[in-house]
Amino acid sequence: MKIAKTLGQFIIEKQADFPYAKGELSRLLRDIGIAAKIVNREVNKAGLADILGEAGTINIQGEGQKKLDVYANEQFISALKHGGECCIVASEESDEYIPIDSEISKDAKYIVAMDPLDGSSNIDVNVAVGTIFSIYHRKSTGGKATIDDVLQRGTEQVAAGYVIYGSSTMLVYTTGKGVNGFTLDPSIGEFCLSHPDMKIPKDGVIYSINEGYYAHFPDGVKKYIKYCQVEDAKTNRPYTSRYIGSMVADVHRNLIKGGVFIYPVTASAPNGKLRLVYECNPMAFIVEQAGGKATNGYDRILDLEVKELHQRSAIFIGSENMVNKAEEMMACFSPQLTKKNFEGLVELQ
């Protein structure tokens, strides 16, 4: 039987790609892998242990936190604190960024932004959830790292990844040299390389969008949905609609099979729902590295200016040809939204 390469072995092997990094990034990725295994253990027990349901708290975005949101947040923060390679953690579940100023982290060079549990509304019903992370170099020198170290454009990411806690658990990541996927082998407790050099098909037949909000979508998105539903043998239409409601799971499926995931601006979410720093940017980095595309309907996600930690953005992400087509529809039917900050979205209704 062929022995699979573990995540740890792969990371060490790839360390040579970053001669300047002296192993810190490798250790950081290792720490994230460890936290992912701990969260995976709890997600797998959901239903048995008393970890389902609401935590009774609300995050800065006004969303009720699940117990597992809080648990995953604590586990990742704690793993990053103990690892000593990270000087700031920024998280969906923490209002402000968290400086890490313990003795072992005083020379830490990296910033980690994360969505500790993505799709958490699905956790109570055994549907796949995920973790998303994004890693930046600290920009400032000397003194304490600041919010400016966090608010970097997506193009500045040195690594990004996600973990999907699905029918099997996978960790997928990029350091800007392609995308690799590792499946957790529960019998040995290791992530093993199962999807080397992942590539997203240029085209696909899956579109993922919450069509329940159709009435609130910009015309460009409505036209694209109609385009997906029209019969045309040459382009394999009508396409298939798949929407899990966990971005990680939807994007992961599309990465493997080809497809587009869209969360546009809507009348009720005039800047989009998903967060730029720890949802859109890392997923955009991964999908681009796999040969796909990610935009807000007009501009490349990774180039967007980051002004706030919990800033939101629309996202169109996936197979290049599908994103291009959706963008074409936006340019044609929703040109009024091209303003960078989509203000005045009342026009939508």
24 vs 279 by CB, closer to ligand AHG: 279
Instruction: Tell me how far CA of residue 216 lies from CA of 166, 219, 300, 347, 348, in angstroms.
Output: 31, 9, 23, 10, 7
Stretch 66-95 residues interacting with Mn ion (CB under 5 A): 92
CA distances from 233 to 21, 114, 237, 283 (A): 51, 41, 6, 31
Q: 145 is written with which tokens?
A: 């790292």
Closest distance between ligand AHG and the C-beta of residue 141, in Å? Answer: 33
Determine which residue in the list 85, 115, 190, 327 makes contact with ligand AHG, applying CB under 6 A.
115
If the CB atoms of residues 111 and 129 are measured against ligand AHG, the closer one turns out to be 129
Strand order of the β-sheet with 206-208 is 240-241, 206-208, 260-263, 315-318, 293-295
The residue from 89, 247, 262, 317 that contacts ligand AHG (CB under 6 A) is 247
DSSP classification of residue 187: T
Task: Please name which of 163, 150, 184 lies closest in space to residue 252, comparing C-alpha atoms.
Answer: 163
Q: Which is nearer to ligand AHG, 174 or 246 (CB)?
A: 246
User: Could you tell me which of 242, 243, 304, 241 has the C-alpha nearest to residue 275?
Assistant: 304
Q: Does 264 participate in binding ligand AHG (rule CB under 6 A)?
A: no
Sketch the per residue contact string, 195 through 224, with ligand AHG: x for CB under 6 A, - otherwise: ---------------x--------------
Q: Quick one: what does residue 223 bind among Mn ion, ligand AHG, none, with the CB cut-off 5 to 8 Å set by partner type?
A: none
DSSP code of 236? T
Q: Restricting to residues 92-131, name those near Mn ion by CB under 5 A.
A: 92, 115, 117-118
Q: Does 273 bind ligand AHG (CB under 6 A)?
A: yes
Q: Does residue 93 bind ligand AHG (CB under 6 A)?
A: no
Q: Does 120 bind ligand AHG (CB under 6 A)?
A: yes
Q: Which does 276 bind (CB under 5 to 8 A by kind): Mn ion, ligand AHG, none?
A: none
How far is residue 107 from each of residues 73, 133, 159, measured CA to CA in Å? 23, 21, 19
| β pairing state of 240-241 and 206-208 | parallel
The answer to whether residue 241 forms part of the interface with ligand AHG (CB under 6 A) is no
Q: Give the Cα separation of 101 and 98 in Å (integer).
A: 9
Nearer to ligand AHG, 91 or 175 (CB): 91
- 85 or 115: whose CB is closer to Mn ion? 115
In 3D, which of 345, 292, 347 has the Cα closest to residue 316?
Answer: 292
Q: Which residue in the block uniquely carries the two structure tokens 């975005």?
A: 61
Pair of tokens at residue 220:
């460009």
Q: Kindly state the DSSP code that residue 238 receives in the 8-state scheme.
A: S
| C-beta of 82 vs 310, nearer to ligand AHG | 310
Q: How far is the CB of 20 from Mn ion (least distance, A)?
A: 32
| Minimal distance, residue 309 CB to Mn ion, in Å | 14
Q: How far is the CB of 258 from Mn ion (least distance, A)?
A: 23
Q: Quick one: 121 or 146, whose CB is closer to ligand AHG?
A: 121
Under the criterion CB under 6 A, does residue 246 sit at the interface with ligand AHG? yes
**Shortest Cβ distance from residue 266 to ligand AHG (Å)?**
8
Please tell me the distance from the alpha carbon of residue 81 to that of residue 104, in angstroms, as a whole number.
9
Task: Kindly determine how many residues on this chain lie close enough to bind ligand AHG according to the rule CB under 6 A.
Answer: 12
Main-chain dihedrals φ then ψ at residue 283, nearest 5 degrees:
-65, -35
Start-to-end Cα distance in the chain: 59
Q: Is 250 in the site for Mn ion (CB under 5 A)?
A: no
DSSP state of 125: G
Our finding on whether 119 is near ligand AHG (CB under 6 A) is yes
When CB distances are held under 5 to 8 angstroms depending on the partner's kind, the choice from Mn ion, ligand AHG, none that residue 194 binds is none
- Position 115, amino acid: D
- Please report, as ranges, the residues that interact with Mn ion according to CB under 5 A: 92, 115, 117-118
- Please report, as ranges, the residues that interact with ligand AHG according to CB under 6 A: 63, 92, 115, 118-121, 210, 245-247, 273
